[in-house]
Every structure is written in C-alpha cells, then in structure tokens.
C-alpha cells in the first residue's frame, strides 16, 4: 500500500510471524478467509461510499439504515448469499457498529418462530418472513419488568366462543417497551404474554401478532404503538412500545410446539423441556460472545494499537525523536491485556457457537440434559464478556488521549453498541446469578458423589492445593490456577445456611471465576492445536498475558488460601512485564490479523495506512458546523453581544 505511515510500515516489517496464517486461524481456515474476503469486496462495492454517520441526526440515521437494509437484502439475493456467516459478513460492512431496523427479525423473531412454532405454523409464516413480506420483532420486556419474566402483565385470555385470544395491556407497566424495530418498522411481533384459559393462568407463552395493516402500515385497531425515543446509542433502530386494548388474534396464532390450547380451552403441555419459552434467549446469549469480540474488543484495540504506533509524544532523550507512545511500558500495560482479551473472547465465542448448535441439535432429538449447563454458561459468559468489552473499550479510548474523545476515533459508536449488551438479553448481574444458581446446585451434587462432565467437571475432580506455576509459566499451570480459584469460589458460595441475597455478591464472583476458568481453558486448547510454530508462540504469549493479568488483578483470590505463594506472585508480576516487551514487537501485526476494513472500524485513528493527522484535518473541515463560514446563529445570538451596533434585533 502506497503512502503508509513510516512507523506503521516499520512495525509491519519487524514482525515474527505470518499475519495471513493467524488470520486463517481466526477465520477457521484459509478457504473461509478467501470466501469472507470475496463477500466483503461485494459489500464494499455497495456500501463504502455512504454519508458520514457522525454528522447525521437520529432520524437521518434511521432512514439511512432502512435504505441500507433494503440494499443489503437485495445484495444477498443477487449474490446468492444464504449461509449465516456470509450474510453476517455483508451485513457487518453495511452496518458497522450499528443495527439494522430489522435486526430482531433475523436474530429473534425467526428463531422463535422456527423453534416454538408447530410445523403448520412454520409453513404458514416462514416463507412470508423469509421474503420479508412480514417483518417481525420479539416483544417480551415491559415497562415494569424486563428481568423478572414471571412478573410480566400482558395477558392473552382465551375465548372459546370465538376461538380467539384477547391480548390486553391491563396497566401502564404492562406496556411492551424496548423491542427492537417495534416502533416504526415491524408489522408483526412474537408477543410473550400470560396465557389464561378456563380462568387459570398458565404463565408466559409466545403469540404471533399482526400489528400493522399490510396495505397502509397503520397500526391495527386496538393497538397503540410507537418509538420509545432517543437512547444511549442504537440510533438506527426504532426500539418501541405497544399497548393492547382487548386485541383479538386467532387461536392458531399461539405458537404451539410445546404447549397447546385446544378449541374448547383445554391446556395441553406436550414437552418436558423446562423453560421452553425461554429458548431464544439462550441462542442469542450464546452468539453474543463472538459478536462482542468482533464488534467490540477487536476493533477497539486495533484503533488504539495502530494509533499508539503512529503517535509520538514527550521527549525522552534530548534532540532525539519523541518516542512512539506504544513504547511506553504503561501504554503497553493498558493495551496488551486488552489485545489478549480480544483473542480470548473471540476463541470462546467460536466455542460457544459450536456448543450451542450441538445442544440445540440434541434438544430437537428430545435430549435436553445439557440445556441447564448451556443456559448457565451462556448467561455467565455473556455477562463477563460484555462487561469486559465495555471497560476495555473505555480503556482504549483513554489510551488515545484527546483524539480518543473525538467521534473520529470511532470509539463512541463502538462503545454505545457494546455496552448495551450488558443490559439486553438479561442484565449482567442477574445473568451471573443464574450461572451461580446452576454452579451451586452442581457443586452440591458433586459433594454428594455425583460425577460431572463438560464445563463443570472440575467440581468433581481433585484440585491441587498448591500452584504448579514456575518461571516457565506453562499454560497448563495457568489453567490449573483458574480451576483452583473457581473451585474455591463454588465452595464459598454454596453455604446452605446462608440466604441467597445475603450471599449474592460472592455468588456473582463465583460465576465470574467459573467463566474465567472456562475462557482460559478454551484459550489454552486453541494454542495447543496451532500447527505453525511462529503463530503458536505469539498466541501462546497472549494466552499467558490474559491469564497472568487476571491473576495479578485478582491476586487476593489466589494467595488468600496459600495456593499461590508470595514468591510465585513475584514471578507472575515479572513475567507479565516481560510479556509486554515480547508482544510489543508484534502488536500491530496482531491487530492486523483481525483483517478489518477501515470502513468497518470507522476510525481515523485506527486507519490501516496510519495517515491520521491529514485525515483528521479533512474530517474536521467537513463538519456541517463549518459550513457556512458564518452561521445564522451568529446573527441571532452572538451579534447582539459582540457587535450591538450592527445587530438588527
Ligand atoms: C445474534 C447476534 C446478536 C446481536 C444482537 C445485536 C442487536 C440486538 C439488540 C438487542 C436485542 C435484545 C433483545 C432482548 O433483550 S429480549 C429480552 C431478553 N430478556 C431477558 O433476557 C430477561 C432476563 N430474565 C430471565 O432470563 C429470567 O427471568 C430469569 C432467568 C432471570 C429468571 O426467570 P424465572 O422464571 O424467575 O426463573 P427462575 O429463576 O425461577 O429459574 C427457574 C429455572 O429455570 C432455569 N432457567 C432460567 N432461564 C432459563 C433458560 N433461558 N433456559 C433454560 N433454563 C432456564 C433456571 O436456571 C432455573 O433452573 P433450576 O435451578 O433447575 O430450577
Ligand atoms: C438496547 C436494548 C435493546 C433491547 N431490546 C429488546 C428487545 O428486542 N425485546 C425485548 O423484549 N426487550 C429488549 N430489551 C430489554 C432488555 O432485555 C431488558 O432491559 C433487560 O432484560 C433488563 O431488564 P430490566 O430493564 O427490567 O432491568 P432491571 O431488572 O430493572 O435492572 C435494574 C437493576 O436491578 C438489578 N436487579 C434486578 N433483579 C435483580 C435480582 N433478582 N437480583 C439482583 N439484582 C437484580 C439489576 O442487576 C440492575 O442493577 C432491550 C434493552 C436494551 C437496553
């Protein structure tokens, strides 16, 4: 590439491994990288020349996103992109760190329909939904309750006379509130409501509900609907509210795969699957982990590390060039653990996708044994990785100094999208507690001699009481340390005498310790499987840093019971710092390996070519506030102050 900043060019010449090989590893093979790049070229042809998001109003952002949605759907059709990964690659460049107004249609509406609908219902609605002749969302949360699903108030009361359900919002707090795309875009929703039949409440069930006229898009009579107003972010999506006033739908529109209401109102439950109506949340939580790495951690550290290679600041030695800020140990300490976390979350995300599809497949065959473990793991990891991603992005912003605070850095857009995931799909503390609930039960089972498998097998294993960490820092010894911590926390958290609430801070820590252990062991297994020696060395260093940083940050958890000795902790600190120097040499290449296009990252600081300053200046000049030279607001508000004689007011 011509015109690359000389510092960045030097970084790229000095690396010790093949970036291409690492990219192939991250993608899951060379053939996947090739295919991804092909799809991305198609996407860039269509989407690279858009208006600058930073200079648009919220309404313009929504309209532009709808326009891009229509074009993205057309591209997928034209180019025959049907596989989920291919659609995702195209979508990612069409909507960099944004959401499409129809995001929930693909992410939650379709999966709920196909998993909870009967064959007949799927046959009726899926073809229409796949052709976007109906666009749906997932309406569960209400103004008064999001977390406590059993507290939802919207009712669906069966009327055997007309064979219809009557949907009703009995209180203000029962208004559906938050569903993505509900405000203006969707004409259908899967509404989660309390099922009443023959005078009895059977709890939350899913209903297919038409909201708007097919002809005019006007809300149907009995429905009051709209956008909930501006949010922290997600400007491109119309999160909405809906109020039902005795709105009738046919009996056939309750999604009846797992439970039915017969014509006479008899309720029949045809599954032993626990919490069957909660299924789609497990899906999204499992997928989110990968998404947080690719949409959050990886682009954020790409920006901060490239910029730190280009930025020079402060005189170290008289009359010599100011150093690249990436050479400061403190800067490395800010950024390299984040880089290591990006890799850790990415590998864990890939693993979680695999596990989800395995368990989902088993559930379709009627085997539900692994669902509780998947629910616990996906809840815990969703919470841990989304909060990790949020604070890491903020740390990357701080690492970029003043320019980090400019929208040109790309951080605001990335941050507001990622931090939302700490709340949606289950608020993080609540999700950690769900994970802990399962761990405590499992620990108690293991204490009674039950042999365990999967992510919790360590609870029935023998754990070492002294760390085997030496100056070699083998990955096995690091995994072992996290296993020990997780085990110890489960033991503390499961005091049967203590009430749940009084113990809940410790329980959240127990869940985090479990998830950390899981992430470190996934990372270790990925490193072990790498064939190329040079790549293995660098990802091995990242794995060590991920583990050692967490041990150092949470030192008390490891030394309190004497598991790690003082001498070992000194070694940990020494090794952590020496890893910073090792990683320094490859830092730029390690972010290049994510293989992101500038159009996706959306940051002047993180440009591949490193030409930050010239582009920053051009970008600032293009700000609408700089056109015209003298603003009308001057005449109105400033002239009377600055130049009272000339003012016409
Ligand atoms: C695909 C990529 C994604 C990109 C997305 C980007 C853009 C999209 C942006 C936003 C989309 C957002 C959508 C939403 O937010 S939809 C709404 C999501 N809402 C929630 O997540 C609500 C959170 N609350 C709950 O999940 C539950 O209420 C609860 C689990 C906190 C508590 O439920 P409750 O009924 O009170 O259950 P109990 O505590 O009594 O537990 C009973 C029992 O059931 C087990 N269990 C709970 N949940 C599940 C589940 N999902 N699956 C399986 N099992 C579950 C629980 O563990 C208990 O088991 P037991 O101990 O053995 O009894
Ligand atoms: C961007 C965005 C998109 C969304 N999209 C959708 C959507 O498409 N469809 C949909 O249905 N919903 C959607 N939601 C709603 C979302 O799922 C809920 O907001 C979320 O589940 C949290 O619930 P809540 O708002 O009731 O939080 P609350 O439960 O009120 O949380 C507030 C505080 O109370 C604490 N708390 C609550 N219960 C407990 C407990 N049992 N133990 C300890 N602490 C507790 C929490 O930890 C938190 O600190 C979206 C939300 C956002 C922000």
601-614 pLDDT, tens digit each = 999 999 999 999 99
- Of 239, 271, 303, which residue is a domain's last? 271
Distance 508 CA to ligand 1 centre (A): 16
- Of 245, 271, 297, which residue is a domain's last? 271
Q: Whose CA is nearest to atom 49 of ligand 2?
A: 429
Q: What is the DSSP letter of 179?
A: -
Distance 281 CA to ligand 1 centre (A): 6
- Is 358 within the bounds of a domain? no
173 lines ligand 2 (CB under 6 A): no
Q: Whose CA is nearest to atom 18 of ligand 1?
A: 425
Atom of ligand 2 nearest to the CA of 192: 11
180 lines ligand 2 (CB under 6 A): yes
- Is 115 within the bounds of a domain? yes
- Is 133 within the bounds of a domain? yes
Q: What whole-number distance in Å separates Cα of residue 631 and Cα of residue 634?
A: 5
- Is 599 within the bounds of a domain? no
The whole-number pLDDT of residue 624 equals: 94
Q: Closest ligand to 189 CA? A: 2
Residue of 102, 136, 141, 235 to test ligand 2 pocket, by largest number of atoms within 8 Å of CB? 141
CA atoms within 13 A on the CB side of 487: 19
Q: Which two tokens stand for residue 29?
A: 């093979």
Q: Whose CA is nearest to atom 6 of ligand 2?
A: 179
The whole-number pLDDT of residue 460 equals: 87
The number of domains in the chain is 2
296 lines ligand 1 (CB under 6 A): no
CATH classification at residue 262? 2.40.110.10
The whole-number pLDDT of residue 636 equals: 93
Domain that includes residue 236, residue range: 109-271
- Is 204 within the bounds of a domain? yes
The whole-number pLDDT of residue 493 equals: 66
340 lines ligand 1 (CB under 6 A): no
104 lines ligand 2 (CB under 6 A): yes
- Is 540 within the bounds of a domain? yes
CATH classification at residue 568? 1.20.140.10
Indicate which residues carry an active-site annotation.
Answer: 425
Residues in the chain predicted with pLDDT less than 70, given as ranges, are 1-2, 493-498, 648-649
Distance 424 CA to ligand 2 centre (A): 6
The whole-number pLDDT of residue 366 equals: 86
Q: What whole-number distance in Å separates Cα of residue 218 and Cα of residue 483?
A: 56
Distance 433 CA to ligand 2 centre (A): 14
Q: Whose CA is nearest to atom 44 of ligand 2?
A: 430
- Is 335 within the bounds of a domain? no
Distance 426 CA to ligand 1 centre (A): 6
- Is 585 within the bounds of a domain? yes
The whole-number pLDDT of residue 33 equals: 98
- Of 592, 607, 638, which residue is a domain's last? 592
Q: What whole-number distance in Å separates Cα of residue 593 and Cα of residue 389?
A: 19
Please check if 141 is assigned to a binding site.
Answer: yes
Q: What whole-number distance in Å separates Cα of residue 33 and Cα of residue 595?
A: 9
The whole-number pLDDT of residue 560 equals: 94
Q: What whole-number distance in Å separates Cα of residue 205 and Cα of residue 279?
A: 12
Atom of ligand 2 nearest to the CA of 233: 1
Percent helix, strand and coil across the chain, each to the nearest 5: 60, 10, 30
Please check if 180 is assigned to a binding site.
Answer: yes
Q: Whose CA is nearest to atom 2 of ligand 2?
A: 424
Q: Which two tokens stand for residue 113?
A: 């329909």
The whole-number pLDDT of residue 644 equals: 87
Q: What whole-number distance in Å separates Cα of residue 557 and Cα of residue 506?
A: 12
Q: How far is CA 569 from CA 92, 366, 577, 580, 623, in A?
A: 42, 49, 13, 17, 51
């Amino acid at each position: 590439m011509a015109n690359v900043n000389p510092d960045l060019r030097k970084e790229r010449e000095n690396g010790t491994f093949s970036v291409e090989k690492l990219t192939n590893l991250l993608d899951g093979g060379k053939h996947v990288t090739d295919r991804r790049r092909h799809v991305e070229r198609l996407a860039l042809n269509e989407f690279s020349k858009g208006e600058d998001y930073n200079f648009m109003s919220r309404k313009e952002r929504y309209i532009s996103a709808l326009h891009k949605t229509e074009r993205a759907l057309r591209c997928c059709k034209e180019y025959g992109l049907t596989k989920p990964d291919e659609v995702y690659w195209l979508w990612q460049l069409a909507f960099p760190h944004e959401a499409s107004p129809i995001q929930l249609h693909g992410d939650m509406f379709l999966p709920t329909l196909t998993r909870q609908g009967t064959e007949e219902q799927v046959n009726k609605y899926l073809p229409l939904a796949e052709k976007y002749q109906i666009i749906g969302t997932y309406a569960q949360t209400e103004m008064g309750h999001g977390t406590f699903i059993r507290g939802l108030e919207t009712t669906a009361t069966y009327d055997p006379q007309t064979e219809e359900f009557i949907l009703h919002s009995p209180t203000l707090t029962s208004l559906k509130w938050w569903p993505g795309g509900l405000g203006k875009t969707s004409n259908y929703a899967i509404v989660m409501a309390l099922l009443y039949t023959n005078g009895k409440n059977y709890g939350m069930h899913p209903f297919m509900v038409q909201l708007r006229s097919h002809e005019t898009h006007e809300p149907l009579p009995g429905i009051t609907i709209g956008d909930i107003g501006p949010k922290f972010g997600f400007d491109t999506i119309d999160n909405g509210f809906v109020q039902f006033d005795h709105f009738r739908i046919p009996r056939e529109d309750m999604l009846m795969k797992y439970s039915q209401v017969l014509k006479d109102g008899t309720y029949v439950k045809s599954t032993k699957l626990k919490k069957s109506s909660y299924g789609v949340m497990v899906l999204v939580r499992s997928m989110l982990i990968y998404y947080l790495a690719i949409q959050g951690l990886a682009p954020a550290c790409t920006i901060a590390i490239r910029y730190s290679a280009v930025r020079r600041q402060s005189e170290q030695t008289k009359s010599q060039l100011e150093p690249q800020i990436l050479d400061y140990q403190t800067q490395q300490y800010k950024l390299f653990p984040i880089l290591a976390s990006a890799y850790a979350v990415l590998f864990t995300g890939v693993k979680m996708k695999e596990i989800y599809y395995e368990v989902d497949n088993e559930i379709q065959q009627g085997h539900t044994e692994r669902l509780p473990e998947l629910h616990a793991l996906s809840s815990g990891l969703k919470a841990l990785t989304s909060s990790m991603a949020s604070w890491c992005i903020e740390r990357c912003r701080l690492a970029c100094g003043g320019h980090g605070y400019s929208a040109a850095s790309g951080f605001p857009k990335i941050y507001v999208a990622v931090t939302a995931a700490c709340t949606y799909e289950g608020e993080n503390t609540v999700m950690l507690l769900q994970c802990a609930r399962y761990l405590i039960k499992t620990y108690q089972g293991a204490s009674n001699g039950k042999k365990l498998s999967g992510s919790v097998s360590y609870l029935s294993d023998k754990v070492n009481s002294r760390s085997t960490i030496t100056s070699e820092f083998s990955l096995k010894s690091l995994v072992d340390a996290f296993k020990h911590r997780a085990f110890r926390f489960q033991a503390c958290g499961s005091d049967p005498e203590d009430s749940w609430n009084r113990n809940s801070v410790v329980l959240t820590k127990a869940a985090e310790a479990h998830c950390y252990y899981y992430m470190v062991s996934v990372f270790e297994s990925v490193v072990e499987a790498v064939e190329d020696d040079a790549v293995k060395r660098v990802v091995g260093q990242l794995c060590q840093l991920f583990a050692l940083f967490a041990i150092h940050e949470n030192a008390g958890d490891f030394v309190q019971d004497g598991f790690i000795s003082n001498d070992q902790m000194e070694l940990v600190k020494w090794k952590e710092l020496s890893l910073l120097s090792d990683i320094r040499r490859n830092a730029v290449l390690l972010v290049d390996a994510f293989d992101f296009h500038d159009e996706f990252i959306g940051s002047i600081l993180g440009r591949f070519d490193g030409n930050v300053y010239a582009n920053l200046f051009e970008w600032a000049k293009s700000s609408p506030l700089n056109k015209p030279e003298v603003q009308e607001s001057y005449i109105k508000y400033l002239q009377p102050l600055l130049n009272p004689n000339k003012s016409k007011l």
